Amino acid sequence: MVMMAFCAFPLSVFAQDNMPPAPYAYRQLDDPQQERKARELMETLRCLTCQSQSIADSDAPMAGDMRHQVRTRIAAGQEPAQIRQWLMDRYGDYISYTPRVNSVTWPLFAIPAIVLLLAGLAVWRRIGRRQNYKGDE
């Protein structure tokens, strides 16, 4: 069993990504307006490999493939909203830096507002008590 693992290990080295980058991964579109649209969209999409960078800033092969997809679809006439939706359907909501409110994510938007409301209520009651206390003297 161990011998089979050692025999298979060298094969995994050859399984690395040796493919050249997609054509539009590092090349801009010829039309400046289309490139501007593509660039604006790419800056709002998260790299799934790096996770802390947008696909516009990342050098990961996955980000290059996604840049290629964005530029190809912009060149084909698709709107950025359509491309964003396609990528979100394919990779999930996590890919977008601008999340949408739905049945799963609404608590993420509601809880901070509730906490702020409760904190404001607590401060208001505290100030009210101090004024009442000072008024009794």
Domain membership of residue 14 (yes or no) is no
41 lies in a domain?
A: yes
* Rounded Cα distance, 118 and 51, in Å: 33
* C-alpha span between 65 and 37 (Å, rounded): 17
| Pair 125, 135 in one domain | yes
**Alpha helices of 2-50 — where are they, by DSSP H?**
2-14, 32-42
pLDDT at 108: 81
Q: Please check whether residues 24 and 89 belong to one and the same domain.
A: yes
Question: Does 67 share its domain with 129?
Answer: no
Same domain assignment for residues 93 and 112: no
Residue with tokens 């997609």: 22
Give residue 130's pLDDT.
Answer: 72
**Contact 55/45 with Cβ under 8 angstroms?**
yes
Please give the Cα distance from 32 to 21 (Å, whole number).
Answer: 22
| 23 and 86 housed in the same domain | yes
Q: How many CA atoms lie within 13 A of 53 on its CB side?
A: 11
Tell me: the pLDDT tens digits for 19-57? 667 777 888 889 999 999 999 999 999 998 887 899 999
Residue ranges of the chain with per-residue pLDDT less than 50: 12-13, 15-16
Asked if the structure places residue 61 within a domain, the reply is yes
pLDDT at residue 18 in the model: 65
User: What's residue 15's pLDDT?
Assistant: 47
Look at the chain and count its residues: 137
84 shares its domain with 107: no
Instruction: Assess whether 28 and 65 both reside in one domain.
Output: yes
State which residues form the domain around 120.
Answer: 101-137
Give the chain's domain count: 2
Say what the pTM is: 0.65
